[in-house]
Structure 1
Amino acid sequence: LFSCKILYEAAYTMFNIPMGSLLSAMSTNDSERASLSSARGVGSMIGNMIPGMVGPVVIGMFGDRTSTGYMITGCICAVIGFVICLMHYFWTEERTVVGADTKTDDIKFSDILTVVKKNRPFVALCIHGICICTMQYLVSNISLYMYSEVYHDVTYQSISSALSMPFMVGSMVAVPFICKKLGLEKLIRYALLIGGAICALLFGMHLVMDVHPLVHGVILGVGSGLAMVSIQMQWGLVGEAIDYNEYITGKRTEGSIYGTFNLARRIGQAVGSSFGFYVLGWIGFDAALEVQSASTIFGLKSLCVLVPAVFILGSWAAFRFVWNITPDVREKMKAMKLASKTEG
């Protein structure tokens, strides 16, 4: 299983990084970046729905305690994914114009160190990637314990997800239009700030009252859903960070920037996946107990609501205090790109 996971990640990375790097080349402004990022987000939701719909049916046919159903589900999803990847490959055409003075050997492995030192938007994105992925995977892993140990009914989790889904779909549809008014970076900052505040408010509600599981699920879904807008829209900012890198260093280095940003996201995923389970021991969780202690219940509420709020606000802080592409800098970047096209 470990070897299969390594092969999967390697294959995914070899396809994801070069295709994802095209986003910066395909877009020239916030509106185009938002539209492409929104389309990517909708595709991601559809892709997540396929195993969610196929998996339970197939696994149920073979029994949930055997590996056969999981293997068949994986094969079905792999075939569907492979067909879509081939469609993506054959339907994508990159038109490039190489100038006579273009150097083919001026990109070095050490360039990424220069990017880290000089490209503050890239650093902000890496901080955001670690924080937001930690939040995402922490909520995903701990929510089950919240419903099973605090509310003693896991069906509320499915109901809450269903109730929150229209908000998620609506936000993805509305984002490109809102982006035309605010700009991509401001939109992400506002979504993170409001999402973090909603999660913090929910934790405050847990401190002073008994929150109904559906109320908890919907409020947490809206708060984390607003934060998830940044996950779907971040790819547009990666494109802008690549443009900024060309502006300050003369090199675009799409692959290095995109790949290193994905590494930061993987770090966040690893932290979020392991942190929650590790802390369960700290708060005194005991799976053998039918009813957890009051301190454990408080710890679960903190893990599920307060800690994600902190990471969401940490992501907001990265864009508020580290990101430095102002409207003036953006205009200079645009002028440089136009001058480059004119010379070409």
Structure 2
Amino acid sequence: MSQAARKLTDTSAPNKGGKASRPFGMKDKIGYLFGDFGNDFFFILVASFLMVYYTDVYGLNPAFVGTLFLVARIWDAVADIAWGRFIDTRKSGKNGKFRPWIFRMSFPLVITGALMFLHIPGMSHGFYEAYAFVTYILWGTLYSTVNIPYGSMASVITSDPVERTSLSSFRTLGANMAGLIINVVGPMILFVNNKADADRFFFGAILFGILSLACYIACYKMSVERIVMPESTKDKSNIGQTMKGLLKNKPLIWILIASLTFMVCFMLIGAVNVYLFKDYFGNAKALSIVGLLQSVAVFVGLPLIKPLVGKFGKKEVAAGGLLLAAVVYGVLYFLPSASETLFIGILAIAMFGYGLFNLVIWAFVTDVIDYHEYLTGLREDATVYSIYSMARKIGQAIAGGVGGFAIAAVGYQSGVQHQAQSTLEGIHTLATLVPAVVLLVIFLMLVFLYPLNKKRTLQLATDLAEKRRAK
């Protein structure tokens, strides 16, 4: 860590009452962990099980569901930008600039999330389509109002590049703790006799909603915003200046493209895996084992991240993990007759690989926020983060649309006892070959096009600290 970066971190800004904030430490990491713990109780529930809920409980056509996901995610991308700009126009209060919004908006977000999984028996097919559209789009909009301030907050908790990597790792750990609960406990709650059960889904949504709300409150209570630009030195920005800076921000552009592509892949894997184990292997509850191993893979990777990033750099560690995952998915494609147990065992290696990427991805975002300030002199955390979040939402839109259309294209029929053999083969291809190709493409992007390697990231922290002191 550079001395300039260390000095900036240690001289934390005082709060509005004039009292210096406590030094950055484990309490901040755990508090930040709780934020994505809360986010992903619903995000992973939706990503993994909402499509099968819509197709098997509401009886909606997979292509219709794909269209809904596409439209909703595009709208969410617009909402992200609008909310990010709104947040950047707010002044920092005694509780910070971002934390209060996490607390305020978490309540309507959780209530709407539970209502998404409400099934009213005996209604028309058109009613279920309309209800799905309204509740899903409303939930996505409210998700932006919590997630944008949460993601933006990382850049003001600490300015130390290595500690930001720790925040990213703890954020991913929080997401995987939620994933562990959703993907392990979820199938046991949600399915009865290998079929989606409407009452169980609604009960699960309420249960996970309560846990989500508790996590948001913990994040609000345990986190501290330290990096506060004095009002007198803040530049008055406009959207023209911002966009000009964003277009010059090469690290941001390539991490946007890489993250968008990864989200397409990750969301597609989550959606297709439900059908893979429910229909191809005939055992939906095996998803619990997959969810458990996915979390174990992250737990194994977590203590390795800080020393690996310290030695090699974020870019290098993330790229290595992606390459490993791509190779493993390619191997699985050529093993169509593999047993369920063997498939899951090999899959665990791939989950460890892309888990390394997930553990450091949020540290990439804080780096590109700093790079935006270095280029423009403007500190616009929420705006830059919302641009990144928009890319992820577009990725989700593409994945939701592609996932629904792909499942429909391979011939999936809701309500039938057994799917056609050609459909099962198509599901296997979607779950193996497609991720192999996409992850390989992201690896190449990161290696050859993303410019912030270890040396340049450390230099950026030093140069930015010098510019701030010179103001």
Distance 2:206 2:278 in 1: 31
Q: Is the 8 A contact 1:156 1:214 kept in 2?
A: no
1:191 aligns with 2:321: yes
1:154 aligns with 2:298: no
Q: Is the 8 A contact 2:314 2:364 kept in 1?
A: yes
Distance 1:297 1:189 in 2: 32
1:179 to 289, 309, 328: 309
Aligned position for 2:155: 24
Q: Is the 8 A contact 1:30 1:180 kept in 2?
A: no
Provide the secondary structure at the position in 2 that maps to 1:325.
Answer: coil
Judged with a 3 Å threshold, the aligned counterparts in structure 2 of structure 1 residues 16 and 159 are, in CA distance, closer, same or farther, namely closer
Shift of 1:176: 2.0
Distance 1:216 1:5 in 2: 33
1:278 aligns with 2:278: no
Deviates more, 1:256-265 or 1:195-204: 195-204
Aligned position for 1:81: 212
Distance 2:201 2:323 in 1: 39
1:45 to 154, 166, 176: 176
Aligned position for 1:262: 389
Aligned residues: 337
Distance 2:282 2:196 in 1: 22
Q: Is the 8 A contact 1:161 1:221 kept in 2?
A: no
1:113 aligns with 2:240: no
Aligned position for 1:122: 252
Q: Is the 8 A contact 2:264 2:395 kept in 1?
A: yes
**TM-score normalised to structure 2 length:** 0.64
Distance 1:41 1:158 in 2: 19
Distance 2:140 2:223 in 1: 23
Distance 1:154 1:54 in 2: 12
Instruction: Give the letter aligned to residue 272 of structure 2.
Output: I
1:91 aligns with 2:218: no
Aligned position for 1:324: 451
Distance 2:325 2:351 in 1: 6
Instruction: Give the letter aligned to residue 42 of structure 1.
Output: L
Distance 2:411 2:137 in 1: 34
Shift of 1:143: 1.7
**TM-score normalised to structure 1 length:** 0.85
1:132 aligns with 2:259: no
1:14 aligns with 2:155: no
Judged with a 3 Å threshold, the aligned counterparts in structure 2 of structure 1 residues 105 and 85 are, in CA distance, closer, same or farther, namely same
Distance 1:65 1:316 in 2: 36
Aligned position for 1:251: 378
Shift of 1:60: 8.0
Q: Is the 8 A contact 2:157 2:225 kept in 1?
A: no
Shift of 1:68: 4.6
1:145 aligns with 2:266: no
Distance 1:289 1:18 in 2: 45
Q: Is the 8 A contact 1:199 1:306 kept in 2?
A: yes
Shift of 1:13: 2.0
Q: Is the 8 A contact 2:294 2:351 kept in 1?
A: no
Aligned position for 2:365: 238
Provide the secondary structure at the position in 1 that maps to 2:334.
Answer: helix
Q: Is the 8 A contact 1:200 1:309 kept in 2?
A: yes
Instruction: Give the letter aligned to residue 318 of structure 1.
Output: M
Structure 2: gaps (5+ residues) = 1-115, 117-132
Please provide the CA RMSD for this pair: 3.0
Instruction: Give the letter aligned to residue 332 of structure 2.
Output: L
Shift of 1:189: 0.9
Shift of 1:51: 4.7
Q: Is the 8 A contact 2:269 2:431 kept in 1?
A: yes
Q: Percent identity, please.
A: 22
Judged with a 3 Å threshold, the aligned counterparts in structure 2 of structure 1 residues 278 and 27 are, in CA distance, closer, same or farther, namely same
Q: Is the 8 A contact 2:183 2:288 kept in 1?
A: no
Distance 1:75 1:21 in 2: 28
Q: Is the 8 A contact 2:173 2:302 kept in 1?
A: yes
Q: Is the 8 A contact 1:54 1:73 kept in 2?
A: no
Provide the secondary structure at the position in 1 that maps to 2:309.
Answer: helix
Shift of 1:127: 1.2
Q: Is the 8 A contact 1:196 1:223 kept in 2?
A: yes
Shift of 1:331: 4.6
Shift of 1:315: 1.9
Aligned position for 2:418: 290
Distance 2:265 2:208 in 1: 26
Provide the secondary structure at the position in 2 that maps to 1:110.
Answer: helix
TM-superposition CA deviations, 1:262-315 (whole Å, max 9, x none): 11111112222231231233334455473623x444422221101011221222
